[in-house]
Chain A
Amino acid sequence: MKNSKTTQKIAFFFLLLATLLIILPVGLIVVIIVVKGLPAISWSFIFDMPKDGMRAGGIWPAIVGTICLVAGAVLFALLIGVMAAIYLSEYARDNLLTRIIKLAIVNLSGVPSVIFGLFGLSLFVVFLKFGSSIIAGSLTLGIMVLPIIIAASRVALESVPHSFREVSLSLGASKWQTIRHIVLPNAIPGIMTGTILEIGRAAGETAPILFTVAAFYLPHLPGSIFDQAMALPYHLYVISTQVPNVDEKIRYGTALVLLILVLFVNLVAIIVRSKFRKKKKW
């Protein structure tokens, strides 16, 4: 008996050790970026154009580019994603088509991000002749985030109690009216949480925009959705690998801005989720 107690202690110690091996570096990474990046952050760093081949000046066009890209991507994915989720939760029967749709979603969510980049290049940039542009990048990112938005929306729709639908239908509302006025409003918090989380992911992705939008050095703001644009993650990649002699401060500063952007978005999602959970009446 004593022996097995000792074994347990040793085993639990190793489990703790493994956990610390993951958690401590995460903390360390965040601390390093914050400590080394904070001195670079200033009004002009965020709101100025880059200068001297990105060795000086600010990162404003990259921030604007990322915001445009993500807005377009989420708009596109939300439109199709919510409708697809409505189909799966309200209309789909348990048949072959539904099974294939689910399989496609699983597969789409596992496709490496660089493959989306290849796809975006061949379909939007070359085949549809959009050229390297914000719209090509947005659509590429939109397809990438689509499976998660479908999954989140479906969970949200399915968590609306069945009795809500039955009451609405028994009052003479049509199926679509029930979905539009009863089911969807009650599912919005869940859909929003999933969407906001995907905004964070889309903002940090680099590989899908490498050959669909990203401009190496473009010290002005994009004029239309058919223009090339800079983007924060690509900018960080470029100044840390492609351009020699960039001040370390600028690299850390860019990494910090990107990290803050992504974490802020995640925080918003967490707050939305907990706020609506408290309000939930059923």
Chain B
Amino acid sequence: MRKIKEFIIEKLILLCGVASIIFVVLILLFLLNEGLSLFKDIGPYEFVSGKKWYPISEPPQLGILPLICGSLLVTLGAAIISIPIGVACAVYIAEVAPSWIKDILKAGIELLAAIPSVVLGFIGMVTLSPLIKSVFNLPTGLTALSGSIMLAFMAMPTIVSIAEDALYAVPKSYKEGAFALGATHWQTIWRVILPAASPGILAAVMLGIGRVIGETMAVMMITGNAAKIPDGFLQPVRTLTATIAAEMGEAVVGSEHYFALFAIGLILFIISFIINLTADLFLHRKERR
């Protein structure tokens, strides 16, 4: 009796163990099933390179190049802002700050991570975008720049905490060796600690950017949602994620528009898969060696 019970429980545990695999496969299957239905009507190349996104016109025009450009532009902007600031903050917390300040800073970063993205989007709408509107004298403050700043901010907790862990993981003897040779603290950080921690910092940056590409609500509220190819940072743009979130509610189940939104989802899924896989390789490189 006990053996049977034990056997059933073990199988149940195994089933839950593989549940993550089942969910990932299910997500991929459903995205593939719905997303690939689109390509019966439109060629994949046409879909990716089409310059017009008018999903509800008759016949619908489904080209996602403007959306890809929107996502790339906002992500590029966010990366330019968040990488130097985030890594510098991690270095400050890990190496320079006295321990009581360190605790306050870490609490602040955790607080930022806890604020829901819709709240950040709301605050961005009422504070950041009027500011950008008046500084650059624009007709609207809902631009790619506002989105980039907001997203940079949202990527910070990821970048700072993972980069900080990487900096802590550098063996103490490296630092002591550099000090013994007469290097200043900054020289040690710049020449010894940063290079030694670089794989971890790279992973931090990648995961931060992964977060930026996938972020939806704040970016939808603050970038202005204009589906046209932008000329620069001071124009409204629309990202891939925001398009799904904004339009899925109205798309008729089974329509070309519906399938197109799933195809966009499929592209995002593949991008995030590649980013996470690569970052994971960097993070666990040491263990494998």
- From B48-56, B165-173, B211-219, the one touching the partner chain is B211-219
A75 to chain B, nearest CB (A): 14
User: Once bound together, how far apart are the Cα atoms of A103 and B97, in whole Å?
Assistant: 35
Residues A219-277 near B (CB distance < 8 A): 233-234, 236-237, 240-241, 248, 251, 255, 258-259, 262-263, 266
Are A115 and B16 in contact, with the CB atoms below 8 A? no
Question: If the complex has contacts A12-B186, A22-B109, are A205 and B221 also in contact, measured as CB distance less than 8 A?
Answer: no
Is B207 in contact with chain A by the CB < 8 A criterion? yes
Are A21 and B269 in contact, with the CB atoms below 8 A? no
- A contact face: mostly helix, strand, loop, or mixed: helix
Is B79 in contact with chain A by the CB < 8 A criterion? no
In the bound complex, residues from chain B placing their C-beta under 8 Å from that of A5 are: 184
Question: If the complex has contacts A211-B249, A240-B122, A251-B122, are A115 and B268 also in contact, measured as CB distance less than 8 A?
Answer: yes
Pick from B112, B210, B272: contact of A22, CB under 8 Å: B112
Are A117 and B111 in contact, with the CB atoms below 8 A? no
Give A239's nearest chain B residue, CB to CB.
B122
Pick from B15, B187, B241: contact of A4, CB under 8 Å: B187
Pick from B33, B86, B216, B261: contact of A207, CB under 8 Å: B216
In the bound complex, residues from chain B placing their C-beta under 8 Å from that of A258 are: 116, 118-119
Is B14 in contact with chain A by the CB < 8 A criterion? yes
Are A15 and B118 in contact, with the CB atoms below 8 A? no
Pick from B9, B31, B85: contact of A176, CB under 8 Å: B9
Is A104 in contact with chain B by the CB < 8 A criterion? yes
Give the one of A23, A109, A201 with max B CB within 10 A: A23
Question: If the complex has contacts A91-B14, A114-B241, are A147 and B89 also in contact, measured as CB distance less than 8 A?
Answer: no
User: Once bound together, how far apart are the Cα atoms of A203 and B118, in whole Å?
Assistant: 11
Are A18 and B92 in contact, with the CB atoms below 8 A? yes
Are B118 and A236 in contact, with the CB atoms below 8 A? yes
User: Once bound together, how far apart are the Cα atoms of A101 and B16, in whole Å?
Assistant: 11
User: Once bound together, how far apart are the Cα atoms of A211 and B10, in whole Å?
Assistant: 37
In the bound complex, residues from chain A placing their C-beta under 8 Å from that of B205 are: none
Give B109's nearest chain A residue, CB to CB.
A22
Residues A165-210 near B (CB distance < 8 A): 174-176, 200-201, 203-207, 210
Are A240 and B221 in contact, with the CB atoms below 8 A? yes
Are A26 and B89 in contact, with the CB atoms below 8 A? no
Question: If the complex has contacts A29-B115, A83-B12, A87-B16, are A112 and B277 also in contact, measured as CB distance less than 8 A?
Answer: no
Are A114 and B156 in contact, with the CB atoms below 8 A? no
Give A16's nearest chain B residue, CB to CB.
B92
Are A19 and B26 in contact, with the CB atoms below 8 A? no
In the bound complex, residues from chain A placing their C-beta under 8 Å from that of B197 are: none
Is B30 in contact with chain A by the CB < 8 A criterion? yes
Is A155 in contact with chain B by the CB < 8 A criterion? no
Question: If the complex has contacts A101-B18, A237-B221, are A22 and B244 also in contact, measured as CB distance less than 8 A?
Answer: no
Is B256 in contact with chain A by the CB < 8 A criterion? no
User: Once bound together, how far apart are the Cα atoms of A73 and B262, in whole Å?
Assistant: 24
Question: If the complex has contacts A29-B120, A115-B31, A119-B27, are A210 and B20 also in contact, measured as CB distance less than 8 A?
Answer: no
Is B140 in contact with chain A by the CB < 8 A criterion? no
User: Once bound together, how far apart are the Cα atoms of A174 and B189, in whole Å?
Assistant: 52
In the bound complex, residues from chain B placing their C-beta under 8 Å from that of A240 are: 121-122, 125, 221
Closest 4 CB pairs of A and B: A112-B214, A204-B116, A87-B17, A83-B16
* Known interface pairs A18-B85, A112-B214, A174-B6; 6 further A-B residue pairs with C-beta atoms within 8 A, sorted by A's residue number: A8-B187, A32-B127, A83-B15, A83-B17, A122-B34, A263-B111
15 A/B residue pairs, CB under 8 Å, sorted by A: A8-B185, A15-B96, A18-B88, A19-B93, A29-B123, A83-B13, A104-B21, A111-B272, A117-B248, A118-B261, A119-B27, A174-B2, A211-B248, A259-B115, A262-B114
Q: Report A's interface with B, CB cutoff 8 A.
A: 4-5, 7-8, 11-12, 14-16, 18-19, 21-23, 25-27, 29-30, 32-33, 79-81, 83-84, 86-88, 91-92, 97, 100-101, 103-119, 121-123, 126-127, 143, 146-147, 150, 174-176, 200-201, 203-207, 210-211, 233-234, 236-237, 240-241, 248, 251, 255, 258-259, 262-263, 266
